[in-house]
Amino acid sequence: MLSSSLASRAQEAWNEWEIQCLVMASFSLQVFLLLSAPFRRRHVSRLLNGSLWVAYLMADYVATYILGRLTLLLAVTGGNEGTRHHQLALFWAPFLLLHLGGQETITAFSMEDNTLWKRRLLDLIAQVAMSVYVVGKQWRQGDRLLVAPMVLMFVLGAVKYGERIWALRAAAARAPGSSSIASLVTHAYWKEHYWKGGYGRLVCISSQDKISIESILKEASVEFQASLDFFMDMTPSDKSISSWMSAFDMDTLLQLKTSKNVYGMAYKLAEMHVSLIYDYLYTKFGTVRFHASPKSNPTMVAALQWLVSLGLTSVALALFAMAMAGNTTSNFDYSESDILISYILLKRERRQQTSPGGAVGALIRRILQAPCETPPPPHIIVSPEVKKLLLDKMFVAAIEALQNNRWDFRRFQGQWALWVANRFEGSDAAAGPAHKALSSIQKLDFVATVVVWHLVTTICFQAGDGPGELTNPSNDLSGYIMYLVAKRGLMVDSNGHIMIAKTQMGVPDFLDELHQDGFIQKLREGDQQYNSPFQLCIAEACMVRVELFKIPEARDRWKLIAAVWTEILCYMALNCGATFHAKHLTAGGEFLTQAKMLLFVIRLPFLIKKMGVIIPPFM
């Protein structure tokens, strides 16, 4: 009997407080999404991503369920005393539309969510219809003083929901496999002044004593369309040449390479490009900044949005307060808890518009200031030496491409390392040790090449006979790329997975031998042999290592190794697919993505020689 009584009381309590609890749960989910979503672009945390994923899904489910319960509440209770007691709950329907519209800090959890924008549009139609039904019931049998604030919040909620679908649709148009890609690529091909300037502006920025964040943001905004197309692998690779491209001549490139703050400028600009692209793909910030008309001022658009949202919310709050003040003469007995919840919902929306940390305030700040940079993930320490080495090699490759042949980034063939070998052995010295070492790249597939050169770099690094400015960053890049290939399976086909598995069977014993006396000397002399079919990569690594040790100068040897790894990194950045880069924007980012946008900043993949002018062919 006692248990039955407790169950009955619990059921009665839940029936009494069900709507209130669910509304506050929806409110809490929105607050969590607003505050937590920005952290995923800067931190790699399974707990954070898991919590955001659950909150992102549950927020829509809970809000939709509550709207259904509100319509059921109207149908069941009719016009009796219970209806008047719960009548204020109907006032919350427009706020559920606001919740379904989502927060400015997150519109999509992943790229797949963007592609579901048509489903969201159907949801919008259904939820708006239910909200109209609730508002209509309020007009016919409820407190008519609440109709005006309900209508205002309904309009704001419908606009916010539509804005979310607009953002999803715009991002989905550039998702891999989208039917809109063909038209977007064609548009980019024929668009004049695809890049609105050459190296001149970059030289001006990097020549400053202190790099201006405003100038970095302005440059990134001007080139946003081109950077987004490049990021999503939609850049035309053969655009007709325009005469105005003299801004990309050799002199300007050399000025950029030797400017005082070129490293800080290049990486900050690459980070800014990544941050703006994240905004476009996963938040509402890009909706105002880039989805609107190109001729519109984004600051004015943001200010107009802020004024409209603030005005509607403030008027609704004032009208609601007046309705509650006049409630003493009405026939509706609103509970204090319902009134408190209503004020919480209204004041939260108003505070979001007016506080410095509010969503629209944050939007304006992101237009006027720089977004937070996206640091590399914690599984690799990207030292300043690694960044300097990568940018130096990019500049060297750009100059070499101008003086000799364009870099073919569609396949990895050791072209950068071959340029290095030609400097100290000559282009005709095919029998030299450097050229022999590089010959392995031509006969191995990509995964096997990565495995072989990772083993070679490990052996050379443990030998400790090279300059630190080359050995340490080269070894770091080797470990990072091996991590991407072996752990992440990036650019690995079925044969590559088998190759990695076979190598892992032989690598432990192989690496243990590195500590044995005389092993390095055996490699120098070519006495160490591996004939096992499971250790073919190890045998190839030994051959390459022997040839590298024949190079007289250790610095030349490490220049060769550094060129191999920097080209592999750039090759992977350009060919691993936009899906990989877009996916990891939401999980702290990858250094590989930063490298891709650095290539965009330098224009390296598209520099060709024509009458002494460096010309990106898709201009």
Q: What is the 3-state secondary structure (H, E, C) of 88-110?
A: HHHHHHHHHHHHHCCECCECCCC
Question: Is the domain of 223 the same as that of 113?
Answer: no
Estimate the crossing angle of helix 147-172 against helix 117-141, to 10 degrees.
Answer: 180
- Number of independent structural domains in the chain: 3
User: Which 8-state DSSP code applies to residue 249?
Assistant: B
Nearest to 412 by CA among 309, 513, 481, 327: 481
Q: By three-state DSSP, how is residue 490 classified?
A: coil
What pLDDT, on the 0 to 100 scale, is given for residue 139? 67
CB 598, CB 391: distance < 8 Å: yes
CA 373 to each of CA 46, 93, 271, 276, 385: distance values in angstroms, whole numbers, following the listed order: 20, 38, 6, 10, 19
> Other CB atoms closer than 10 Å to residue 465's CB: what's the count?
14
DSSP single-letter state for residue 236: -
Chosen domain end from 283, 314, 343: 283
Dump pLDDT digits (tens) for 64-96.
999 888 877 665 544 444 445 566 788 888 899
| Model confidence band, residue 30 (pLDDT cutoffs 50, 70, 90) | very high
Residue 99 lies inside a defined structural domain of this protein: yes
Q: Are residues 220 and 338 in the same domain?
A: no
Q: Are residues 418 and 548 part of one domain? A: yes
Residue 408 within any structural domain of the chain: yes
What kind and span of H or E run contains 292? none
Mean pLDDT to the nearest integer, 265-277: 92
Which is higher by pLDDT, 492 or 11?
492
**Residues 166 and 254 reside in one and the same domain:** no
Interior CA angle at 372 toward 366 and 375, to 5°? 155
Region 256-276 average pLDDT = 90
Q: List, in sequence order, every residue forming a beta bridge with 614; answer none if it has no partner.
A: 609
Residues 415 and 540 in one domain: yes
Question: Is 288 within the bounds of a domain?
Answer: no
Instruction: Give a yes or no: residue 377 inside a domain.
Output: no
Segment holding 392, helix H or strand E: helix 384-403
User: Per residue in 97-153, pLDDT tens?
Assistant: 999 998 888 999 999 999 999 999 999 999 888 888 877 776 666 677 788 888 888
User: Exposed (0-12), middle (13-18) or buried (19+): which is 285, by Cβ within 10 Å?
Assistant: buried
Out of 262, 283, 304, a domain closes at: 283
In this predicted structure, the answer to whether residue 421 has a pLDDT above a threshold of 70 is yes
32, 125: one domain: yes
Q: To which H or E segment does residue 443 belong? A: helix 433-443
Give residue 67's pLDDT: 87
Cα–Cα distance measured from residue 199 to residue 143, given in angstroms and rounded to the nearest whole number: 65
In this prediction, residue 244 has a pLDDT band, given cuts at 50, 70 and 90, of very low
* Distance, CA of 265 to CA of 271 (rounded, Å): 10
Do 425 and 568 belong together in one domain? yes
What tokens does 519 get? 């092993």
The pLDDT value given to residue 533: 44
Closest by CA to 399, choosing from 414, 384, 376, 419, is: 419
Same domain, 343 and 398: no
Q: Looking at the domain assignment, is residue 378 inside a domain?
A: no
Query: Is residue 183 domain-resident?
Result: no
Q: Are 340 and 235 in a shared domain?
A: no
CA-based nearest residue to 466, from 561, 349, 604 = 561
* Beta-bridge partners for 106: 103
Measured from the Cβ of residue 473, the count of other Cβ atoms closer than 10 Å reads: 24
End-to-end CA distance of the chain: 82
**How far is 63 from 126, CA to CA, in rounded Å?**
13
Q: 């209806």: which residue's tokens?
A: 83
| Beta carbons within 8 Å of 543's beta carbon, 6+ residues apart | 440, 526
619 close to 194: Cβ distance less than 8 angstroms? yes
Say whether pLDDT at 358 is over 90: no
Q: Are 253 and 392 within one domain?
A: no
Query: Quick one: tokens of 54?
Result: 């659950």
Residue 474 CA to residue 533 CA, distance in Å, equals 29
pLDDT at residue 524 tops 70: no
Encode pLDDT of 434-444 as tens digits.
888 888 888 88
Nearest to residue 202, comparing CAs of 241, 160, 252? 252
Distance of CA 566 to the CA centre of its chain: 22
Average pLDDT over residues 458-477: 85
Average pLDDT over residues 242-252: 55
Pair (278, 300) in one structural domain: no
What's residue 142's pLDDT? Answer: 64
Q: Pick from 372, 367, 388: which is nearest to 299 by CA?
A: 367
Note whether 272 and 389 are same-domain residues: no
| Domain of residue 335, residue span | 2-176+296-368
- Is residue 39 within 8 Å of 101, Cβ to Cβ? no
Assess if residue 458 is contained within a domain.
yes
Grouping H, G, I as helix, E, B as strand and the rest as coil, residue 613 is: strand
- Listed in sequence order, the residues at least 6 apart from 301 whose beta carbon sits closer than 8 Å to its beta carbon are 288, 292
Q: What is the DSSP letter of 534?
A: G
The answer to whether position 379 is within a domain reads: no
Last residue of a domain, one of 259, 283, 307: 283
Q: Which two tokens stand for residue 198?
A: 């050459």
